[in-house]
Structure 1
Amino acid sequence: MECDRISALPDHLVAKIVSYLGIKDSIKTSVLSKRWEFVWLKVVGLDLKNCNFPPNGIASQMVVNKYMEFNRGLHMQYFKVNFGGNTVYTNRFLEWIATAVDRGVQHLDVGSTNLIFIKEFMPKNIYKSKTLVSLKLTNVGIMKHQELVVSLPCLKIMHLNNVYYDDGPSKITEKLLLGCPVLEEFTMVRVPNFDNEESHSVLRVRSQTLKIFCLTFYWGMYSTVFSVEIDAPRLKYMSFRDDLSAGIVVKNLSSLVKIDLDTDFNVNVDTSPLEPVDLSKRDIIRDFLTGISGVRHMIISNDTLEVLYHYSKMVLQIPTFHNLSHLEASFFSTSLQLLTAFLESCPNLKSLILEPVPGQIDLTSVPRCLTSTLEYVKIKNLNIREETGINLANYFLENSAVLKKLTLSFKDCPIPDKASDIIMELLTSTKLSHICQVIVD
Structure 2
Amino acid sequence: MSSISENVDRLTCLPEEITSHILSLIPIRLAVQTSILSKRWRYTWMLLKKLDFNDYPLVFDRDSLSKFVDNVFELCKTSHIEVFRLHFTYIWVRKSSVSKWINEAIRLNIRELDIQVLLLELPLRLFTCKTLTKLRLVESCFETGVLNFPSPVILPSVKTLDISVRSKPCVNAFKLIHGCPILESLSLQVAWRNDEEEYNFNIPSLKRLELRTLKCISVINKVVLNVPNLEYFLVGGVLCSLFVMKDLSNLVEASVSFFDVRFNHLEAELLNGMSGAKSLSWSTSTVDVPLNSHLPKFPNLKHMELKGSCSRWLSMFHVLENSSELEHLCIDEPEESCWIEPQPIPTCMLSKLTTLKFKKCKGRKWDLQFLEYILGNSEVLKTLTIITSVSLTPKKEMWLCAQLLKFPRASRSCEIHFVGNWSHYTCN
TM-score by length of 1: 0.83
Q: Secondary structure at the match of 2:131?
A: coil
Q: Which residue of 2 aligns with 1:374?
A: 353
Name which of 231, 235, 248 aligns with 1:240: 235
Quote the RMSD (CA, aligned, Å).
Answer: 3.0
1-structure distance, mates of 2:346, 2:304: 14
Match of 1:430 in 2: 408
CA contact (8 A) 1:305 1:342 kept: no
Cα displacement (A) at 1:183: 1.1
CA deviations on 1:244-291 (whole Å, 9 max, x unpaired) are 43321122111111001124895455xxxx5xxxxxx6xx944x4443
CA drift at 1:232:
0.9
Aligned equivalent of 1:277 = none
Q: Contact between 2:376 and 2:408, CA under 8 Å: does it hold in 1? A: yes
- Percent of pairs identical after alignment? 25
Partner of 1:204: 200
**Structure 2 residue identity aligned to 1:437:** E
Which moves more between the two structures, 130-139 or 330-339? 330-339
Q: Which amino acid aligns with 1:394?
A: E
SS at match of 2:135: strand
**Paired residue type of 2:283:** S
- Equivalent residue of 2:290, what SS? helix
Look up the SS of the partner of 1:208 in the other structure.
coil
Per-residue CA deviations over 1:219-248 (Å, capped at 9, x if unaligned) read: 257x97632112111111111104143321
After superposition, the Cα gap between the structure-2 partners of 1:70 and 1:228, relative to the gap in structure 1 and judged at 3 Å, is same
The 3-state SS of whatever aligns with 1:354 is strand
**Whole-angstrom distance in 2 between the partners of 1:400 and 1:169:** 48
Match of 2:306 among 329, 333, 345: 329
Candidates 265, 268, 273, aligned match of 1:291 = 273
Q: State whether structure 2 residue 276 is matched by structure 1 residue 300.
A: no
Aligned partners of 1:249 and 1:86: how far apart in 2? Answer: 42
The answer to whether 1:152 aligns with 2:137 is no
Match for 1:354: what amino acid?
I
Aligned length: 408
Contact 1:382 1:389 in 2 (8 A): yes
Name the CA distance, whole Å, in 1 between partners of 2:372 and 2:31.
57
Structure 2 vs 1, CA of residues 440 and 185 (structure 1 numbering), >3 Å: closer, same or farther?
same
Matched, 1:261 2:256: yes
Tell me the distance in 1 between the aligned counterparts of 2:89 and 2:356.
48
Which TM-score applies when normalising by structure 2?
0.85
The alpha-carbon distance between structure 1 residues 111 and 35, as it changes in their structure 2 partners (threshold 3 A), is same
Q: Specify whether residues 132 and 382 from structure 1 end up closer, same or farther in structure 2 by C-alpha distance, changes over 3 A only.
A: same
CA deviation string 1:67-123 (max 9, x = no partner): 2112377322211012468987232122111221232110100012x3xx3xx4322
SS where residue 3 of structure 1 aligns?
coil
Q: Distance in 2 between matches of 1:88 and 1:419?
A: 53
Tell me if the contact between 2:226 and 2:247 (Cα under 8 Å) persists in the aligned partners. Answer: yes
Kindly tell me: are residues 425 and 251 of structure 1, through their superposed partners in 2, closer, same or farther at Cα, counting changes over 3 Å?
same
User: Offset at 1:207?
Assistant: 0.9
Within-5 A mapping of 1:79-98: 79-83=84-88, 89-98=94-103
- Preserved CA contact (<8 Å) 1:55 1:84: no
Q: Distance in 2 between matches of 1:233 and 1:438?
A: 41
Which residue of the partner structure matches residue 9 of structure 1? 14
Judging changes above 3 Å, is the alpha-carbon distance between structure 1 residues 87 and 368 closer, same or farther for their aligned structure 2 residues?
Answer: closer
- For 1:169, the equivalent position in structure 2 comes to 169
Query: Residue 326 of structure 1: CA displacement?
Result: 0.7
Equivalent-residue separation in structure 2 for 1:173 and 1:208 (angstroms): 18
Q: Which amino acid aligns with 1:260?
A: S
Equivalent in 7, 27, 38 of residue 33 of structure 1? 38
1:278 counterpart residue number = none
Distance in structure 2 (CA, Å) of the matches to 1:76 and 1:367: 55
* 1:174-193 alignment runs, 5 A limit: 174-192=174-192
Partner of 1:219: 215
C-alpha separation between the residues in 1 aligned to 2:170 and 2:219? 11
Question: Which ranges in structure 2 are unaligned for 5 or more consecutive residues?
Answer: 1-5, 420-428
Structure 1 unmatched runs, 5+: 275-280
Structure 1 residue 52 corresponds to structure 2 residue 57: yes
Cα offsets for 1:304-324 (capped at 9, x unmatched):
794322xx3xxx453211100
Structure 2 Cα separation of the partners of residues 109 and 179 of structure 1: 18
Three-state SS of the structure 1 residue aligned to 2:368 is helix
Aligned-partner SS, 2:94: helix
| Structure 2 counterparts to residues 309-320 of structure 1, below 5 A | 309=291, 312=292, 316-320=293-297
Report deviation, 1:124. 1.6
Quote how far apart the aligned CAs of 1:190 are. Answer: 1.6
Shift of 1:388: 4.3
Amino acid at match of 2:374: F
Residues in 1 aligned to 2:79 and 2:333: alpha-carbon distance in whole angstroms: 54
